[in-house]
């Protein structure tokens, strides 16, 4: 056996170190404890072998944005389980159709992109069934995706409907309200966007003190997000390279 890392493994290891340093610096610059902000590698569009490399480097949580791609990758990694990959937590971060709720409830530890009452209801039903059948052991953690510009095409719940959606999630069986997520609108000033998100999170915490997660920040804007209270930055490009165009 040759234990020298492959070129791809060396490349990913070096990127992971750089992103880790960048995140630590962002936390220190913001006067925050680096342990309070999670780095969530986003592996969409990249093969299961890259996830296995990240796993070998100590990563245990991964973000995926398309249900079919994610569920086949989860299955593929299950087959590589000689490495003990059973302890991985998968996060669904992309927009979701209700008819995918059953599948998501089988593999996702958390979903960051919940933005409608109908999706909450579908996920509650699916997670409850999965809990009953042994398909999962813990409630599905839900982050509500907030729309910061009110454009329904880009996903996210408008701010004036957030409180009601949070209530519905909190009282749904099989779900656990964990916090909020947002992606700044295209062309928007990230400072203003993340400030608005942080204000919405502060409001939410008054009624839902356990909803402490704030999923905000990506490759291009993680420093700003950390300044505005992010607890989880979702990073793809800086770790794995650029994706094909139109890859959201």
DSSP string, 98-118: GGGHHHHHHHEEEEEEE--HH
Shortest reach from residue 235's CB to ligand PLP, in Å: 5
Q: What are phi and psi of 27, to 5 degrees?
A: -65, -45
Does 231 interact with ligand PLP (rule: CB under 6 A)? Answer: no
Residues 6+ apart with CB under 8 A from 225: 190, 194, 216, 217, 218, 233
Q: Which segment (14-22, 103-111, 200-208, 218-226) binds ligand PLP by CB under 6 A?
A: 218-226
Instruction: Select 130 or 148, whichever has its Cβ closest to ligand PLP.
Output: 148
CB of 43 to ligand PLP, least distance (A): 10
Residue 93 interacts with ligand PLP (CB under 6 A): yes or no: yes
The site for ligand PLP, by CB under 6 A, has a size of 14
Measured CA to CA in angstroms, residue 18 lies from 23, 52, 131, 238 at distances of 9, 19, 39, 9
Q: How far apart are CA 11 and CA 16, in angstroms?
A: 9
By CB under 6 A, tell whether 95 contacts ligand PLP: no
Q: What is the spatial distance between Cα 143 and Cα 114, in angstroms, rounded to a whole number?
A: 6
42 binds ligand PLP (CB under 6 A): yes
Classified as helix, coil or strand, 189 is coil
Place of tokens 């960051």: 112
Q: Find, among 96, 8, 103, the residue nearest to 51 by Cα.
A: 8
Residue 190, class by beta-carbon neighbours within 10 Å (0-12 exposed, 13-18 middle, 19+ buried)?
A: buried
Query: Does residue number 229 form part of the binding site for ligand PLP (CB under 6 A)?
Result: no
Q: Which of 26, 43, 44, 48 binds ligand PLP (CB under 6 A)?
A: 44
- Nearest CB to ligand PLP, comparing residues 20 and 135: 20
- Interface with ligand PLP (CB under 6 A), residue from 85, 143, 183, 211: 183
Between 31 and 187, CB nearer to ligand PLP = 187
- In whole angstroms, the minimum distance from the beta carbon of 219 to ligand PLP comes to 3
Enumerate binding residues for ligand PLP (CB under 6 A).
Answer: 42, 44, 65, 93-94, 183, 218-220, 234-237, 248
């Amino acid at each position: 056996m040759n234990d020298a890392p492959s070129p791809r493994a060396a490349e990913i290891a070096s990127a992971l170190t750089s992103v880790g340093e960048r995140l630590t610096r962002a936390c220190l610059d913001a006067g925050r404890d680096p342990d309070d902000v999670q780095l969530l590698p986003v592996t969409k569009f990249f093969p299961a072998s890259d996830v296995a490399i990240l796993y070998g480097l100590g990563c245990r949580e991964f973000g995926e944005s398309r249900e079919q791609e994610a569920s086949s990758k989860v299955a593929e990694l299950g087959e590589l389980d000689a490495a003990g990959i059973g302890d991985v937590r998968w996060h669904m971060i992309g927009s979701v159709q209700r008819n995918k709720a059953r599948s998501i409830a089988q593999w996702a530890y958390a979903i960051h992109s919940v933005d409608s009452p109908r999706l909450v209801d579908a996920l509650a039903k699916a997670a409850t069934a999965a809990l009953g059948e042994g398909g999962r052991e813990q409630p599905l953690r839900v982050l509500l995706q907030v729309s910061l510009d009110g454009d329904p095409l880009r996903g996210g719940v408008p701010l004036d409907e957030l409180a009601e959606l949070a209530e519905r999630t909190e009282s749904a069986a099989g779900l656990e309200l964990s916090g909020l997520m947002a992606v700044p609108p295209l062309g928007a000033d990230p400072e203003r966007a993340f400030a608005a998100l942080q204000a919405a999170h502060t409001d939410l915490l008054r009624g839902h003190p356990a909803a402490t997660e704030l999923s905000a920040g990506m490759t291009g804007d993680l420093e700003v997000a950390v300044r505005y209270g992010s607890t989880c930055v979702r990073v793809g490009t800086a770790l794995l390279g650029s994706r094909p165009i139109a890859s959201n």
